[in-house]
Amino acid sequence: SQHLFICLILWHFSASSSETCVSSPAQRVGVCNTSGSGTDLPGQAGDVADTHGPLPKNTTLFMGFAFMLTASSEIDRLTNKSASDDEDDYVETGPYNKAYTESQLQAGGGFVLADFNEEQCKAAYQSLLIADQHCRTRKYLLCLASGVPSVSHIWVRDCCKENKLLNYRNYLLPAGAGPDEAIVEWHPRCSPFKALRVLLVFEKPVELWAQLITMGGGSSVRHFQTDKDGSDIPAGKYDLVVTDSACPPLVEKNVTSQEVPLVSPEWIIQSVIRGERMGFHSKPQYRHDYSSSSSS
Ligand SMILES: *[C@@H]1O[C@H](CO)[C@@H](O)[C@H](O)[C@H]1NC(C)=O
Ligand SMILES: *[C@@H]1O[C@H](CO)[C@@H](O)[C@H](O)[C@H]1NC(C)=O
Ligand SMILES: *[C@@H]1O[C@H](CO)[C@@H](O)[C@H](O)[C@H]1NC(C)=O
Ligand SMILES: *[C@@H]1O[C@H](CO)[C@@H](O)[C@H](O)[C@H]1NC(C)=O
């Protein structure tokens, strides 16, 4: 009955879920949509068991694990190159059929979460995010921020082929591409936003930024809607403003006069990838009005 209870909770959380991705710095920073099925790596439909391995014979192979799955977008794949050509940094990859990989995990007794859920991740013996490479999907960033390891789908393939639980640590994916496009390895988290009081200034509330800041130790997150009248930001209440080029000039002026720094969401993403607080103005991409029109 406890299992049923958990299922009901999960069903509740998954009912409203949809996957979004966050574009790379080369693109305009913002939230965009991605479709899981459109992002599968090429592979012939008929040979899915050849490339992905069989469904596991052992129905308790993945018992006790909670899994989330995500897939890289076209933009993510562009960032999958190393500045140093160091092939050792990469886990081997292959065709990725997310739906099939999910069916393998379920056939092996794994519990698949439709969306990121912090309580469920903590309740499981071990939670893992499965992906084809590092990416900037919502799930990937949330898992990074909460310390859930990201593991290559090749781990699932190899476990199913050998009908044996292999060590996922040998299949860890990197945290992502850092500000200089160098690959940042996955490592346990500290709290990059510890004790920060953050004001988000966007036209629409951006749940993802608020979640990432909270999970990273932020002490408060408020949202200020730009279409509302007024530019008065109470003095001494915020340590940081996260906004974009749509930030109203009067708000910017008021915040600047209080000597509160303004940064772009890219600063949040990089702090999550690096697992440490980046300097507010250490990169041009962290400027709230940064535009990459010249570089892309
Ligand atoms: C994202 O999806 C929503 C709802 O389907 C749609 O209104 C919006 O235009 C999409 N955004 C992009 C960037 O495709
Ligand atoms: C199935 O896999 C689990 C987890 O690795 C293992 O403990 C168990 O012995 C396996 N059962 C069989 C029948 O191989
Ligand atoms: C990422 O790059 C590595 C090394 O070049 C390559 O082996 C791998 O297939 C790439 N991954 C994807 C998903 O394209
Ligand atoms: C900013 O807003 C605060 C709070 O209302 C106000 O006290 C302050 O005068 C404003 N500063 C500027 C430069 O508008």
pLDDT in tens, 229-284: 567 788 899 999 999 988 988 899 999 999 999 999 999 999 999 999 999 999 98
Taking the centre of ligand 2 as the mean of its atom positions, its distance from the CA of residue 226, in whole angstroms, is 56
Confidence of residue 83 (pLDDT cuts 50, 70, 90): very low
Asked whether residue 211 is domain-assigned, the answer is yes
Q: Is 60 in the pocket of ligand 2 (CB under 6 A)?
A: yes
Q: What is the CATH number of the domain that holds 136?
A: 3.40.50.10190
**pLDDT value at position 92?**
60
Asked whether residue 241 is domain-assigned, the answer is yes
Ligand that lies nearest to the alpha carbon of residue 250, given by its number in the listed order: 4
Reported as half-sphere exposure (CB side, CA atoms, 13 A), residue 262 has a value of 22
The torsion defined by the Cα of 250, 255, 259 and 262, in degrees rounded to 10, comes to: -110
Ligand that lies nearest to the alpha carbon of residue 259, given by its number in the listed order: 4
Taking the centre of ligand 2 as the mean of its atom positions, its distance from the CA of residue 172, in whole angstroms, is 22
Report the 3 state secondary structure along 177-200: ECCCCCEECCCCCCCCCCCCEEEE
Taking the centre of ligand 2 as the mean of its atom positions, its distance from the CA of residue 64, in whole angstroms, is 12
* The pair of three-digit structure tokens given for residue 124, joined into one six-digit string: 């499981």
Which sign, positive or negative, has the C-alpha torsion 149, 141, 103, 12? positive
Domain boundary among 156, 184, 212: 184
> Does residue 42 sit in the same domain as residue 114?
yes
User: The whole model's pTM is what?
Assistant: 0.78
Asked whether residue 192 is domain-assigned, the answer is no
> Looking at ligand 3, which residue's alpha carbon is closest to its atom 1?
80
Structurally, the chain folds into a number of domains equal to: 2
> Does residue 61 sit in the same domain as residue 129?
yes
Structural domain boundaries enclosing 277: 197-286
Q: How far from the centroid of its chain's Cα atoms is residue 149's Cα?
A: 11
Taking the centre of ligand 3 as the mean of its atom positions, its distance from the CA of residue 109, in whole angstroms, is 29
Q: Is 94 in the pocket of ligand 3 (CB under 6 A)?
A: no
